[in-house]
Amino acid sequence: MTLLISTFYGTGDGQTFLGLSGVAWLSFVIVWVFQIAIFWKGLKHIQRFLNWAGPLVYLVMVVLMVIVWTKAGDQLLPAVGSIFSNSGEESTSAVGAFVAIVGTMVAYFAAVVINFGDFSRFVRSEKEMKLGNLLGLPLNVAFFSFIALIITAGTLVLFGEPLTNPTAIVERVDSVALTIIAALTFFGATVGINLVANFIPPAYDLANLFPSRISFRMGGLITAIIAFFVGGLWVSVISQIGVPGFVNALGAILAPFYGIIVVDYYLVKRQNLDMQQLFSSAADSEYHYVNGWNTRALMAFALAAMFSIATVLVPALSSLDGYGWLIGAALGGLFYRVFMPSGKVLAAAEAQS
């Protein structure tokens, strides 16, 4: 949206507030209001919006790749190799670097993984769910990464530096038509990603946490209000710690939940869940635990989260930065398995208490 407004009206007088210009603030508010409007209409409207926004993003990125590749010519492929060449500085091994990057990528998708049930509940069969996962994650990420790699290598040839921000690339291509189409497409992509990753999951979480007081819509509105302040402080505060650092910190906090959920379902519950008991709030229900809280899971989370977040925040553990999610998930699952050897043992222990 900033790209679109700047194309027709310029970038403003240069004055900023909290690190954002007037055009940036206007763009931020427009996107924020549009997200609320789409969300308020319900999940069917969100699904329709995503069904056209997703393919359009690919279309624009492919067109951009073709333009960059055509202009770069036979210098493109050598540039691809130079992106991965060693800069001469001391670095970790290739395997270690790859694992660290994978850890950061996993941390990026951690929020969606934890709230996977918010979306899988709408599939019609397990086969459909598996197909969606296959197309949506490994194949989608691999194909999009290929496009991003080609475009980045092309910018290295054309502009003398690797550009990773599609908006900056579109600006340098200097095509008004492409700028308008790309701006609208990136606008749709931004709204779609925020709805799926940052809007719907917390809305469901808040509604499930206080079902008698907070509806799904109200949960989304609360999320939007919090997100407004987070977005407003992003440039001046949050980005100062670095986006990878922020993503790793967030992933390190969420990681133990993933490990606990996996161990609980596969090793403790052994893939057997009583759906009636799962949604029962009765004190004698199977999953009521201690006054509605699984204290053993909370202890496992606390212990694992302290160490995984330390890999991001403690300088002495900086060598483990990027592995925070992997470490947190593994420790969360390990501690939970130790605290809860089996569902029957737990039930017997709580029956005596």
Nearest to 183 by CA among 22, 68, 57, 66: 57
Nearest to 190 by CA among 17, 27, 11: 27
| pLDDT level of residue 93 (50, 70, 90 thresholds) | low
Query: Over the stretch 171-191, which tens digit does the pLDDT of each residue have?
Result: 777 677 777 887 888 888 888
Q: Residue 238: what pLDDT?
A: 64
Q: Residue 343: what pLDDT?
A: 52
Find the range with the poorest average confidence among 5-19, 113-127, 269-283, 319-333.
Answer: 5-19
Residue 353 predicted with pLDDT over 60? no
Residue 344 predicted with pLDDT over 60? no
| pLDDT level of residue 89 (50, 70, 90 thresholds) | very low
Query: Over the stretch 21-30, which tens digit does the pLDDT of each residue have?
Result: 878 888 888 9
* Mean pLDDT, rounded, of the chain: 79
Q: Residue 28: what pLDDT?
A: 86
Residue 125 predicted with pLDDT over 80? yes
AA identity, residue 69 = W
Q: Residue 121: what pLDDT?
A: 78
Query: Over the stretch 217-272, which tens digit does the pLDDT of each residue have?
Result: 999 999 999 888 888 777 666 666 666 666 667 777 888 988 999 899 999 988 88
Higher pLDDT, 192 or 110: 192
Q: Residue 87: what pLDDT?
A: 44
Q: Residue 91: what pLDDT?
A: 46
Query: Over the stretch 30-67, which tens digit does the pLDDT of each residue have?
Result: 988 999 999 888 888 888 888 888 888 888 888 888 88
Higher pLDDT, 107 or 169: 169
Domains of the chain in sequence order: 1-82+95-240 (1.10.4160.10), 242-346 (no CATH)
Q: Residue 126: what pLDDT?
A: 82
Q: Residue 317: what pLDDT?
A: 75
